[in-house]
Structure 1
Amino acid sequence: MNQQKLTPYDVLIRPLLTEKTTAAREDRKYAFEINPLANRVLVKNAVETLFKVKVEKVNISVCKPKPKRRGRFEGRTREWKKAIVTLKEGYTIKELEGQQ
């Protein structure tokens, strides 16, 4: 799949729900695992389309694989891509806020 054929549903794989990302929501920052072929523009368009919000900034990082062992067997975790999306003032993603 090249970048032109990625739909908004292909760009965002899943939201990242950790203590750190949950605390970052107070600053209007949301974290997503994204498609390895996606770039900032595709992530911005996908979030704005799917959640009906306005995006201020997108930061992307590649999470490198780590070595892991199970007894005598060695392997590595997978490489994946993460996006931190900052929304404009006054916007939130209600689907990810949960029961508060």
Structure 2
Amino acid sequence: MDKMGYPVLTEKTIRLLEKNQYSFNVSAQSDKAEIKKWIELFFGVKVGSINTHALPNKKKKIGTITGYTVRYKRIIITLKSGYSIPLFSSK
């Protein structure tokens, strides 16, 4: 469960909630099967599909040292009809 990140709430992801799609940031090493298993166990829902993409690195500069931010993936999960994640419910 340590590879699961946090939900992403942006203007686009809020629009996706109407289509029963939820967005999360996860570890870059996690794969779709592992993510699906954790989402179904943790939230008690059925996942229809998962789309993933790796966000580009951002350059960080601290003094004279230049590095990059931590890599992570963003996933968009589409749930089967009749399911929702209670974390985002409006009740």
TM-score with structure 2 setting the length: 0.83
Give the structure with the larger helix fraction: 1
Task: Confirm or deny: 8 A CA contact 1:11 1:42 kept in the other structure.
Answer: no
CA distance in 2, matches of 1:75, 1:39: 26
Amino acid at match of 1:42: E
Aligned equivalents of 2:3, 2:57: Cα separation in 1: 21
Consecutive unaligned residues of structure 1, counting only runs of 5 or more, are 1-8
**Matched residues, percent identical?**
32
> What's the counterpart of residue 7 of structure 2?
15
**What's the C-alpha RMSD, in Å, of the aligned pairs?**
2.1
TM superposition outliers: structure 1 runs of 4+ over 3 Å: 67-70, 72-78
Report deviation, 1:24: 0.2
Q: Which moved more, 1:72-81 or 1:82-91?
A: 72-81
**Quick check: 2:27–2:71 contact (8 Å CA) kept in 1?**
no
- Could you list the runs of 5+ residues in structure 2 that have no partner in the other structure? none
Aligned residues: 91
